[in-house]
Amino acid sequence: MTRVSELAPFQKRIAERSRQKNSRIVLSLDPTRSHDPKKFALKSIDRLYRHVCAVKLNFHLILPLSMADLTEITKLAHARGLECIADIKLNDIGNTNRIAIQYLLEMGFDAVIVNPLIGKVALKSAVKQTHERSCGIITLTYMSHAGAREYYGAEVINHRTGRIARLYKMFHSLAIDVKADGMVVGANQSDILKEISHVRKIPIFSPGIGIQGGRIALAIKNGTDYFIVGRSIIASANPIRAAKKFQQLAVA
């Protein structure tokens, strides 16, 4: 991997957090249902921050909360030495993306997950906007759910080259071209992960550990840098013990 001193600000920060915490785990705060989502997020961060390097808030946690609530959550995460990722899979026209990103950065998020279907111009603009604030963009390359193969693995015509290519390969190249700060590739997509890691130039964030069948040892071998783990920790009988287990497993 590139030396920390050469990385973009978000990449550098999360790499340093990972080193300080001795953890490559990104805690996905994805409750199936919570009567008090803010309390859930704050409590989870306070209980588990020693064992993770970042937290990821998905759309269904962000949606019911106010800007003040989300700012409180990101402030606590930063105080506990964690980076904050907004996982909204942003996918809209450039102006809408710009405004959404502006709000997220104002609330203290360090990175935003974006769908590369928005195209090169819009994605490059999003990267520029976040880099101006020392934050980052993480793009989807191949998701972890079973239905991902229907489209991420589909053959499409690259309008620039006229050649047929797998969609995930185009997404991979696009992430590199626009200097994104990371890409999402499911840990349970072993062949895809292995293929991409051989030519990747940016960090790989892998969901799909545990419940979706991904194994940390194999994902490490195949090139994952950071592991996104949610339900296997927060829905366990003992979340602290589960977080420690994944922290230890992810030590290369």
Catalytic residues: 89
Return d(Cα 11, Cα 181) in angstroms, integer: 6
The alpha carbon torsion through 143, 197, 131, 178 (nearest 10 deg) reads -90
The CA distance from 74 to 111, in Å, is 12
> Hey, what amino acid is at 178?
V
Contact predicate 128/31, CB 8 Å? no
User: CA–CA separation, 173 vs 104, rounded Å?
Assistant: 26
Strands (E), 1-109: 25-29, 54-58, 83-90
b/e for 124-148, b at 16 or more Cβ within 10 A? bbbbebbbeeebbbbbbbbbbeeeb
Q: Transcribe 152-165 into DSSP letters.
A: TT-EEE-TTT--EE
* Residue labelled with tokens 């402030």: 75
Closest CA to 207 of 188, 181, 194: 188
